[in-house]
Chains A and B, each alone.
Chain A
């Protein structure tokens, strides 16, 4: 077998593995969220399908696939059909640059455990996360319903506002690691994770990530009690399912970004790197679920004020301070 073919096969194998793991994980994250939320509200949660309700995701998928795929008469048909795919695909693509383990040594070759290690990985992540807006915005607009449009306009302005502070919170990390590549950022945290080295950037990033994932307390785009379902009000069947799965894939992606940038990625004692990475990502996801179970929703003006008047100045200040400290140390 020639070398280019081998590397192509490796990339394909990694792609398929990552794809499978992410989709399965997203499906079971839905179950985990329902279970955890139920326990927090003194209920049992889904427990009928299979042992402990473990087959519930499968049943959900079958239900969604067999439901009618309804398109409203006044909707912009093509955009309406494309939008859910957009939101799921942009979420999936982001995982291409996430390093989920230390490089493996197999047959005398080093196999990096990342689909592709771009040297502009951070920018790739930011670019895709800003493209992720389109799925929601177009879905809401194409539905041609007032609730959907309101949801997507809210979502647009919210995501644009919080993207700024999210990007600026990563700038100190890039400055300290001196690289845009996610693998090198993880390598640079071998001794101390950036959570301890830069304690201000971590909460800023975490809050912005929470806002990016459109979950409580930042779920204004789909606020159920004001907007029915927000941008996905008019969707049914598997297209709604795509929005739904996209949201959970997004959750995993953002959790792994928090892990990569601040929690030291795959580094950790005793256990193998991949296990540490998975544990940290799942811990962040569990934190998000916990937040959802215990926080009320923000009001819209509070959301905007917090983003522009608190988070953005803080993150700018953090960039300045980090730069000054780095300059002083060198």
Chain B
């Protein structure tokens, strides 16, 4: 049952990822990307990480893609831009096949399967997935977390400084 669901979602994810590049219209590309993100959220749910799924939808599909669509609407690019750059399709295809081979190699070699980690299904069931992530972020990896937040703050300040007009 879960395997069928996985393959169905995977087909949708790959098809929509393909159409992200293939669509002429930037808005359609962006929407296909949203579909891919939704499929990823389904994968997170299947991996017993509902928190990650919700955040995936909220942040990627709900915030970042909305902003991208906003910019596309404002710029009103039309069909001309994408028809000019078609050679990227082949390069992207070759690159993704290469990444697929590398990922396949690591999975086969048993270095990235995740079965060896300390977080197991039993732990998630007994402790709660959200609690585990919260503990990892705010206790175990507090310093990297704070560094990342300062980095984001710097980016925000930079954006404000760059876009500020002289008064």
Q: Which residues of A contact B (CB under 8 A)?
A: 76, 79, 118-120, 123-124, 126-128, 130-131, 133-134, 137-138, 141, 149, 152-153, 156-157, 160, 163, 180
Contacts and interface: CB of A to CB of B under 8 A. Distances in A.
Given A119-B130, A120-B50, A127 B57 contact: yes
Contact of A120 (B31, B54, B61, B63): B54
A130 B63 contact: yes
Given A156-B70, A160-B66, A79 B61 contact: no
Contacts of A131: 57, 61-62
A136 to B, nearest CB: 11
A149 B63 CA distance: 19
Kindly list the 6 A-B residue pairs having the minimum CB-CB distance in the complex, ordered from nearest: A130-B62, A123-B54, A127-B57, A127-B58, A120-B50, A120-B54
Contacts, number: 68
A153 B74 contact: yes
A79 B51 CA distance: 30
Contacts of A149: 73
B40 interface: no
A157 B61 CA distance: 15
Nearest to B65: A134
A119 B63 contact: no
B126 to A, nearest CB: 13
A295 B31 CA distance: 36
Interface of B: 25, 27-28, 31, 34, 50-51, 53-55, 57-58, 61-63, 66-67, 69-70, 73-74, 128-130
Given A118-B50, A120-B130, A141-B27, A127 B62 contact: yes
Given A127-B54, A130-B66, 14 more contacts: A79-B27, A119-B128, A120-B51, A120-B130, A126-B62, A127-B61, A130-B58, A134-B66, A137-B70, A137-B73, A138-B31, A141-B73, A152-B73, A180-B130
Chain B interface helix/strand/loop/mixed: helix
B66 A133 contact: yes
25 contacts: A76-B27, A79-B31, A118-B50, A119-B128, A119-B129, A120-B50, A120-B51, A123-B54, A123-B55, A127-B54, A127-B61, A130-B61, A131-B57, A131-B62, A134-B34, A137-B66, A137-B73, A141-B73, A152-B73, A153-B73, A156-B66, A160-B63, A163-B62, A163-B63, A180-B130
Nearest to B38: A131
Contacts of A126: 54, 58, 62
A171 B51 CA distance: 15
A26 to B, nearest CB: 23
A149 B70 CA distance: 11
A163 B67 CA distance: 13
A152 B69 CA distance: 11
A152 B67 CA distance: 13
A133 to B, nearest CB: 5
Contacts of B62: 126-127, 130-131, 133, 163
Pick from B34, B58, B129 the residue with the most CB of A within 10 Å. B58
B163 to A, nearest CB: 14
A182 to B, nearest CB: 13
Contacts of B63: 130, 160, 163
Contact of A124 (B54, B66, B67): B54
A327 B113 CA distance: 39
Contacts of B73: 137, 141, 149, 152-153, 156
B70 A157 contact: yes
A251 B129 CA distance: 32
